[in-house]
Structure 1
Amino acid sequence: MELIKEDQQLFKLTAEDIMISSEKVAHVQLNNPLEHALLILVTSGYSAVPVLDSKYRFKGIIGKSSILNEIMGLERFEIENLTTTTVEAAMQTDVPCLPKSADLLTCLKALIDHSFICLVDDKNYFDGIVTRRAVLEQLNQFFHVNEKDLNQ
């Protein structure tokens, strides 16, 4: 299959072109109790959200499973931990981040193991996220437009 110039636009897309800006992304802060994080997760419908410090720098992500692990006792759920434990104690910090300038293929590779990737600037300020769905939509659109060429 030969790509025509218009089709090559797919490979020129950057994370910034398909990102959800930070203003529209549900997040929690380091010092929030787990109870607050769980409320944000349940009301937003997300399984995980970014964790930011008081200056909006990215620090990690918190998910429902991290919260459940934190309140799981030997014989019962220790619900009191929801109010006494902070997000910082339960969050994941070993998550990949990308700059807004990252190309679509770099985003795709990072999203293989994650449903979203956080975008940060050179000082780690949170710019937004790129979702696996957004990348797959771009790829689907590309393959749909080029379906004829692919079948030849």
Structure 2
Amino acid sequence: MYSLQRDVFFDVNLEDLLISADKVAHVQVGNTLEHALLVLVKSGYTAVPVLDSAFKLHGLISKNIILDSLLGVERIETEKLAEYNVEEVMDTNIPQVTLNHTFIKVLGMSINHPFICVVDEEGAFEGIITRRVILKLVIRHLNQE
């Protein structure tokens, strides 16, 4: 049976888990849904952060959000891809933390989110912490026991 020492995770430095902003696929608030869908499909991700020109985090856009916005009463209205901007349909309920938060907080948030956005005190996007990185850390600690 595996066991974890709870205090092992209090010393985790979130910066060590961070995938920096310059390596994270994202879109801008003014981009069209067509552009966002291209980024999502080309990157292979189901969701990406939405940033403004100052790199402030505003929301998340996903394939599901885009597809939901295209559904009409009788057909998929693909013309909306070029008509709507990301900011009109993005999800503004963003799982986010600062580097001052605890690993335990991030671990709990990862139950419902594949990645957690990291912002600085002014809301500028610093990067993401993925569920994959979190689970790799937990497994590493389990294997040390």
Q: TM-score, normalised by structure 2?
A: 0.93
- The alignment status of 1:114 with 2:113, answered yes or no, reads yes
Q: CA deviation at 1:14?
A: 2.5
Pairwise mapping of residues 2-151 of structure 1 onto structure 2 (< 5 A)? 10-146=9-145
Q: CA RMSD in A?
A: 1.6
SS in 2 for 1:88: helix
| SS of 1:50 mapped into structure 2 | strand
Q: Which portions of structure 1, spanning 4 or more consecutive aligned residues, are displaced by more than 2 angstroms?
A: 7-11
Cα deviation, 1:99-135, whole Å, max 9, x if unaligned, reads: 0222211110111110001000111000000001111
Number of matched pairs: 143
Where does structure 1 lack aligned partners over 5 or more consecutive residues? Answer: 147-152
Between the aligned partners of 2:11 and 2:86, the Cα distance in structure 1 is 37
Per-residue deviation at 1:2? 9.0
Could you tell me how far apart the structure 2 residues matched to 1:85 and 1:49 are? Answer: 17
Distance in 2, matches of 1:2 and 1:95, equals 29
Distance 1:97 1:12 in 2: 20
What percentage of aligned pairs have identical amino acids?
43
Question: Where does structure 2 lack aligned partners over 5 or more consecutive residues?
Answer: none
